[in-house]
Amino acid sequence: MPDRTTQSWAELNVASPDDLAGLFQALAAELAADVAAAGEEAALRAVRDRWLGRKSGRLARIRDQWLAAAPREWKPAVGQLYNALARQAESEFARAQARFAAVQAQAMIVEDAVDTTLPGRAQPAGPAHPVLRILDRITDVFVRLGYSVATGPEIETAYYNFEALNIPADHPARDDQDTIYLAGAGEELLLRTHTSPVQIRAMQAQEPPLRIVAPGRVYRHDAPDASHSPMFHQIEGLAVDRDLTLGDLKGTLDHFARELFGAAATTRFRPSYFPFTEPSAEMDVSCILCHGAGCRACKQTGWIEILGCGMIHPALYRAVGYDAARWSGFAFGMGVERVAMLYYGVDDLQRFYSGDLRFLEQFAT
Ligand code: DAH
């Protein structure tokens, strides 16, 4: 259909009011068809420009060419028909626009709807920290042997941390360099430097026979480096019964080493000194990396020291009111990070405390 609005008033050849009415009726029908054919918002905008565009829209042309050029007697009729067409255009566009908006709103409702039948989004659950995994493994070995788990406070008195353990006031372990003291307390309070005070607390709480392990945090005045940390973990063991001997101690710890490091692990005991045991020893395990052949981890010796141990010193029995003639027992203590480093082949202690997930996630199984 040719666009009649491009024609001049003269070209229209309007001869009667019917001609004029017919002309506007045809335009109204064309407008309605145009709007109906616009299937999307962009198309509707194009149709709107074609009809209502300020300068070259069809209605602008009707106003500027026909209405302006029509003879005086036609002007009122043309003006009325023009106004009616303009109103029709406005309302048709408004309705079409509202229709699109409704469709869009509906689509958004569908899109944003929450599907309550979907399973929840799983939060990634962190695996246990490698140090705690090892602590648990060590604890489990002894629990299977009938030991129970005991705990004690991390803030200790000098009495439990030192005196009762037969560590005299001038012992180097009491040096301020090692011990973190808490200022302001009436009693001499400190952060426990080892888990050994739990031995005293356990013996005070129970009569023999007694078998406990005490895992926990300990604190020392150390600058952090590849093998030191101001906080680390220890696990303490204590067994008191009739006639326990150094043979029981060695047998127990030998069993422990094989349970933790595998059946091929062997142990050796070297004489040592601790104020709370007599005799005292340090236990080495055959290097789990080279199996005794010698490597960097064991400094070519084939052995790695993992714990201190010994037969309980009679002074401890006196401190807790046990009859030293009746009971005998052994104790041991080990640093958990040290074992974890060995077990997992980690060469820098600080990695355990970095909170770096790329490091920690390697221990997820
Ligand atoms: N408490 C000692 C330390 O922190 C470790 C230790 C050695 C504990 C010998 C014991 C033991 O129970 O018998 O180095």
pTM equals: 0.68
Quick one: what percent of the chain has pLDDT higher than 90? 73
Dump pLDDT digits (tens) for 273-296: 999 999 999 999 999 888 888 888
Q: Which of 232, 233, 231, 283 is nearest to 254 (CA)?
A: 283
Ligand 1: which residue has its CA nearest to atom 12?
Answer: 332
Q: Which of 173, 158, 166, 160 is nearest to 275 (CA)?
A: 166
Say whether both 149 and 77 belong to one domain: no
* Range(s) of the domain holding residue 237: 130-363
Q: Enter the DSSP assignment of 190.
A: E
State pLDDT tens for residues 326-339.
999 999 999 999 99
For 82-96, 166-180, 272-286, which range has the lowest pLDDT when averaged over its residues?
166-180
- Statement to judge: residues 155 and 49 lie in one domain: no
The answer to whether 82 touches 62, Cβ cutoff 8 Å, is yes
Asked if the structure places residue 178 within a domain, the reply is yes
> What pLDDT sits at residue 252?
98
pLDDT band at 219 (very low <50, low <70, confident <90, very high): very high
The fraction of the chain above a pLDDT of 70, given in percent, is: 98
Is residue 117 in some structural domain?
A: no
pLDDT at 1: 63
Question: pLDDT confidence of 2, banded at 50, 70, 90?
Answer: confident
Q: At what angle do helices 246-261 and 130-144 cross, to 10 degrees?
A: 130
* Rounded Cα gap, residues 133 and 343, in angstroms: 11
- The model's confidence at residue 172, banded by pLDDT at 50, 70 and 90, is confident
Band (pLDDT 50/70/90 cuts) for residue 365 is: low
- Taking residues 46-71, what's their average pLDDT? 92
Instruction: Output the pLDDT for position 290.
Output: 86
Among 111, 145, 162, residue at a domain's last position: 111
Q: For residue 204, give the 3-state DSSP assignment.
A: helix
- The secondary structure of 84-120, three-state, reads HHHHHHHHHHHHHHHHHHHHHHHHHHHHHCCCCCCCC
Q: Which of 309, 311, 328 is the best mutation target for the ligand 1 pocket, counting ligand atoms within 8 Å of the beta carbon and taking the most?
A: 309
- 113 versus 137: which is more confidently predicted? 137
Segment 72-77 shows an average pLDDT of: 92
The more confident residue out of 118 and 139 is 139
The answer to whether residue 18 is domain-embedded is yes
Is the pLDDT at 188 greater than 90? The verdict is no
Residue 122 counted as domain residue: no
Q: 216 and 163 share a domain?
A: yes
Q: Reply yes or no on whether the pLDDT at 177 is more than 80.
A: no
Total domains in the fold of the chain: 2
Residue nearest to atom 2 of ligand 1 (CA): 333
Mean per-residue pLDDT, 96-119: 90
Mutate to test the pocket of ligand 1, among 162, 194, 212, 336 (most ligand atoms within 8 A of CB): 194
Which CATH number do you get for residue 354? Answer: 3.30.930.10
Distance 196 CA to ligand 1 centre (A): 6
Please check whether residues 247 and 323 belong to one and the same domain.
yes
The beta-carbon contacts of 256-259 under 8 Å, at least 24 apart in sequence, are 256/138, 256/141, 256/142, 257/283, 257/285, 257/306, 259/141, 259/144
Q: What residues does ligand 1 touch, defined as CB less than 6 Å away? A: 194, 196, 236, 274, 277, 308-310, 331-333
**Shared domain check, 227 and 97:** no
Residues 6+ apart with CB under 8 A from 283: 253, 257, 267, 268, 269, 270, 305, 306, 307, 308, 309, 332
Answer with the residue of higher pLDDT: 245 or 185.
245
Take residue 357 and report the two structure tokens written for it: 């997930």
Q: Among residues 111, 138, 173, which one ends one of the domains? A: 111
Mean pLDDT of the chain: 92
Residue 186 has pLDDT above 80, yes or no: no
Report CA(334)–ligand 1 centroid distance (Å): 7
In a domain, 121, yes or no: no
Residue 318: per-residue pLDDT? 97
pLDDT at 364 over 80: no
